Amino acid sequence: MNSLNTEKDTNIAQILGIRSKSGRSRKLLRKIAWLALAIAIAFVVIKWGTGKSADKPEYKTETVQRGNLIVTVAATGTLQPTNQVDVGTELSGIIRTVEADFNDIVKTGRVLARLDTLKLETQVQQYKASLDSAAAKVRQAQATVRETGNELARIREARELSGNRVPSQHDLGAAEAAHERALAEETAAMASVSQSEATLKTIQTDLSKAVIYSPINGIVLKRSIEPGQTVAASLQAPILFTLAEDLTRMDLRVDVDEADVGRVKKGQKAVFTVDGYPDRAFPARITQVRYGSKIVSGVVTYEAILSVGNPDLLLRPGMTATVNITVNEIENVVLVPNAALRFTPPVKEKETSSGNSSIIGKLFPRPPRPQPKQKEYAKADRKKSKVWTLKDGQLVEVPVTTGESDGIMTETTGGGVAPGMTLVIDTIRN
């Protein structure tokens, strides 16, 4: 009997334990639900509060000004000497001496380098001997001509005195043939002399080219050889030195985009900067705009040449320059900020009764619908635009006609704007 009571108590305890655990789970779930509801209510209150405060948008504004407008075209390029000469050699051989170094100031005719001339000097002696031999053969042929000429004259005189009987006609023909052969040998010997003279002159010219001279007054920019080095001139003359004639005047070669080349003209002023002196602007002037185009990665550009003064020798060949070319200067015009021309009034999203008006809609707002892109001036005149001003806190559209622009400010040639007018350029809070 006692055992039965014990089993019943145990079963009751187990049942009560289970029930107590399930009760604790229900309490925990109830707490989590109330916490989630509190967070949702707080989120909705904050959302409603920010929505009410955002009903009145705020805008950033700027003022219309009257002033001068300078229109520029930007380009990049490199500095180069006005006259740069590459000095090479037509001969192959070993460099015996190098007599000029980097940055040396050289004059016209100064020796820059010398090649080993031992082989050429030997050839000169050889061809001089050949010329002497050819000259001796000429004298020998001339003696033969005189000898055969005298013999022919004697035979002719004897035939005259004998009435054409002696010597015979055969002897006369032989004498004439011998004289003609002597004349031919003389001509050949003289031709051999001319040939030897030409060959000797060629070798002497090569010998003179073994000494490399400076062709201009200038400065040595590059030196590509060392003493003992072998140079080979086969199809193309190797470059030994690069000289710049005058670094106090330089050329700036820039690539102008095809969209801007119609505005770039000879004589226009420009300023440029280089990385070596980022805080200094150097003046320049356009001297030529070339018609030939260059296409790099599908971009068409045209080369413009600018003249640059470099009296302090601060600028160096090869420096990369960023150039601003002044293509137009306009004085005393009404200027509006470009940001005002780009401003578009914000469009409020329409709320539907089944959407964001419900608590679920506030908790899970829909993403904003993409607004259709406006076709800016697709069919209208690009010079016709509009800006926005504030009257009693409301946006008011003002039509304008635009002119030149420097990228920050734009000239207005007509419309309802005036100096001092406040224009909206951006939305601070919507």
The answer on 157 and 178 residing in a single domain is yes
One domain for residues 241 and 108 = yes
Question: In CATH, what number is assigned to the domain containing residue 98?
Answer: 2.40.50.100
Do 182 and 224 lie in a common domain? no
CATH label of the domain that carries residue 264 = 2.40.30.170
Same domain, residue pair 145 and 288: no
CATH number of the domain to which 396 belongs: 2.40.420.20
From residue 183, give the alpha-carbon distance in Å to each of 195, 276, 344. 19, 78, 105
pTM for the full predicted model: 0.64
Alpha-carbon distance of 301 to 43, in angstroms, equals 58
Residue 26 is predicted with a pLDDT of 72
10-residue averages of pLDDT along the chain (430 residues): 47 49 66 76 64 66 92 95 93 95 94 94 94 94 94 90 85 92 94 94 93 94 94 87 94 96 95 95 96 93 96 94 95 92 77 47 55 45 81 89 90 89 85
Same-domain status, 345 and 386: yes
Is there a single domain that holds both residue 194 and residue 313? Answer: no
261 plus 296 within the same structural domain: yes
Bridging pattern class, strands 105-106 and 299-309: unpaired
pLDDT, residue 55, reads: 56
Domain extent for 178: 117-209
The predicted pLDDT at position 57 comes to 78
- How many structural domains comprise the chain? 5
360-363 long-range contacts, CB within 8 A, separation 24+: 362/43, 362/44, 362/47, 362/48, 363/40, 363/43, 363/44
Count CB-CB contacts under 10 A for residue 228.
Answer: 11
Whether residue 122 sits in one domain with residue 110 = no
237 and 91 share one domain: yes
- 26 and 47 in a single domain? The answer is yes
Last residue of a domain, one of 157, 192, 209: 209
* Same domain as 240, residue 106: yes
Last residue of a domain, one of 269, 300, 329: 329
One domain, residues 92 and 232 = yes
